[in-house]
Structure 1
Amino acid sequence: MTADTMNGRHPGEPHREGLAQRLNWLRAGVLGANDGIVSVAAVVVGVAGATESVPAILTAGLAALVGGAISMALGEYVSVSSQRDSEHALIEKERRELAEMPEEELAELAGLYEARGLSPETAQRVAVELTAHDALRAHLSTELGIDPDDVVSPWHAALASAVAFTIGGILPLLVILTPAAVRVPLTFGVVLVALAITGYVAAWIGGSSRGRAMLRVVIGGALALAATFAIGAALGTTVG
């Protein structure tokens, strides 16, 4: 019998420990890759619509890649930092309440378990035993859905987002450097396939419809590429 089985767990079944952290960087990574693909592809396709100059396309693409990666990392860091600060504030508030009014907190915890379907006697017994074991953890988990050992990290989210944006952005940057006759249609095709993959992964992480998610990102990416190419073709000149 394995340790997981002894603890009432089934192999391969997801559990709480580290879940917020894993979902945090996975979400940031998938969104970063998606943004990298669309953002850089839109820039290079737009420039390719205006000129066939490889240095011009490469310069614009690299600028979009570096600027976008930094912007994504900063945005994720600020967003997740705010979430982390809120979680820390709630943890401190709960710790203070447990110190100042332990009886009221015990009654509140028992009431929460009773509201979940336990009998008053069982709810009271569970609340007492969990409070004796780790009062703060019991209240945070039951009242707020917070695991004090699993508070999200803004650094993880920022790094995952920046790296994913860079990886996603490199794809259209490489494809657009193919021969002029095929670079735009080839970039369209490769980018839309890549977006379908990121849409599938995002839906898998969130447990939503794969097909619908893939369709959304592919249509959105196609519109972005078509719009920027049309603008570039309308305003630019082709270099022979």
Structure 2
Amino acid sequence: MSTRLNWLRAAVLGANDGIVSTAGLVVGVAGATGDRGTLLTAGLAGLLAGSMSMAAGEYVSVSTQRASEKAALALERRELREQPDAELDELAGLLEARGLSASVAREAAQQLTEKDALRAHARVELGINPDELMNPWHAAWASFLAFTAGALLPLLAMVLPGAGWRVPVTVVSVLVALVITGWVSARLGQSPVRGAVVRNVVGGALAMAVTYGVGALLGAVGV
């Protein structure tokens, strides 16, 4: 259950990144030009670059984490094979440190060891669930899709309306979306909703304001 919640929260945050980064890009370009083709090209380029970057970064990160976890499990497996008594004492000590009495910790350690020693040490000592090692490809695709889904909102909001409505529609759509993603991420993380929403909206609004200002300035000077 906790793994699913982490995945869902990561997806929401990935979509949030897609919304903010793409909104900043297309609003900035809109400050310099109202040409629909230019806006679409810039938005698609930002969407693809951002989604690929997110996917690659997530793949590398999860691959590194997975390799570290597998190495730790391999070391634990060897220690259990070579020095089982010492590992039993270690497990009992860890359980005792968590609040069990010495006798209960010893009994629990023995029972856990008899059932599945590696799993017991992985969970208690390493904080790893051997059955839930993250798949880097799954993580990469999830990040790619989440970012893409988020990026499509500001892109479509910018290129579909008429010239006079593009920026207002995009800004309003993005701010509403940021309220939603801020609320969802706060609920999933069991943190205060108001602060998360305010930070999300203010950050997105500031990003759009800055990029629009830069775009308008560059457009005015003909750069």
Bucket of the pairwise TM-score, normalised by the shorter protein: over 0.9
Task: Measure the CA separation in 2 of the matches of 1:165 and 1:59.
Answer: 17
User: Could you list the per-position Cα deviations for residues 24-83 of structure 1 after superposition, in whole angstroms to 9, with x for gaps in the alignment?
Assistant: 432331121011111111111111111111111111111111111111111111111111
Question: Equivalent residue for 1:152?
Answer: 134
Structure 2 residue identity aligned to 1:215: V
Q: Which runs of 5+ in 1 are unaligned?
A: 1-13
TM-score (norm 2): 0.94
Question: Equivalent residue for 2:204?
Answer: 221
8 A contact 1:41–1:173 mirrored in 2: yes
Task: Measure the CA separation in 2 of the matches of 1:203 and 1:159.
Answer: 24
Task: Measure the CA separation in 2 of the matches of 1:114 and 1:235.
Answer: 65
8 A contact 1:24–1:157 mirrored in 2: no
Instruction: Identify the range of structure 1 (69-78 vs 150-159) with the bigger mean alpha-carbon deviation.
Output: 150-159
Question: Equivalent residue for 2:175?
Answer: 192
Task: Measure the CA separation in 1 of the matches of 2:60 and 2:8.
Answer: 17
Question: Equivalent residue for 1:111?
Answer: 93
User: Could you list the per-position Cα deviations for residues 2-22 of structure 1 after superposition, in whole angstroms to 9, with x for gaps in the alignment?
Assistant: xxxxxxxxxxxx5xxxx33x2
Q: Percent identity?
A: 60
| Aligned: 1:29 with 2:11 | yes
User: Could you list the per-position Cα deviations for residues 156-204 of structure 1 after superposition, in whole angstroms to 9, with x for gaps in the alignment?
Assistant: 2111111011111111111112111121111111101101111112112
Task: Measure the CA separation in 1 of the matches of 2:140 and 2:211.
Answer: 28
State which of 188, 193, 198 in structure 2 corresponds to 1:205. 188
Question: Equivalent residue for 2:58?
Answer: 76
Task: Measure the CA separation in 1 of the matches of 2:56 and 2:13.
Answer: 14
| Aligned: 1:173 with 2:144 | no
SS at match of 2:129: coil
Task: Measure the CA separation in 2 of the matches of 1:115 and 1:50.
Answer: 62
Count the aligned residue pairs.
220
Task: Measure the CA separation in 1 of the matches of 2:201 and 2:7.
Answer: 23
Question: Equivalent residue for 1:43?
Answer: 25
What RMSD in Å do the two structures reach over aligned CA positions?
1.5
State which of 122, 129, 133 in structure 2 corresponds to 1:140. 122
Task: Measure the CA separation in 2 of the matches of 1:174 and 1:164.
Answer: 16
SS at match of 1:176: helix
Instruction: Identify the range of structure 1 (119-128 vs 98-107) with the bigger mean alpha-carbon deviation.
Output: 119-128
Q: Which runs of 5+ in 2 are unaligned?
A: none
Task: Measure the CA separation in 1 of the matches of 2:98 and 2:157.
Answer: 55
* Structure number with higher helix proportion: 2
8 A contact 1:31–1:161 mirrored in 2: no
| Aligned: 1:121 with 2:103 | yes
Counterparts in 2 of 1:237 and 1:54: CA distance versus 1, 3 Å = farther
TM-score (norm 1): 0.87
Structure 1 residue identity aligned to 2:95: Y
Shift of 1:237: 4.9
8 A contact 1:94–1:136 mirrored in 2: yes
| Aligned: 1:183 with 2:166 | yes
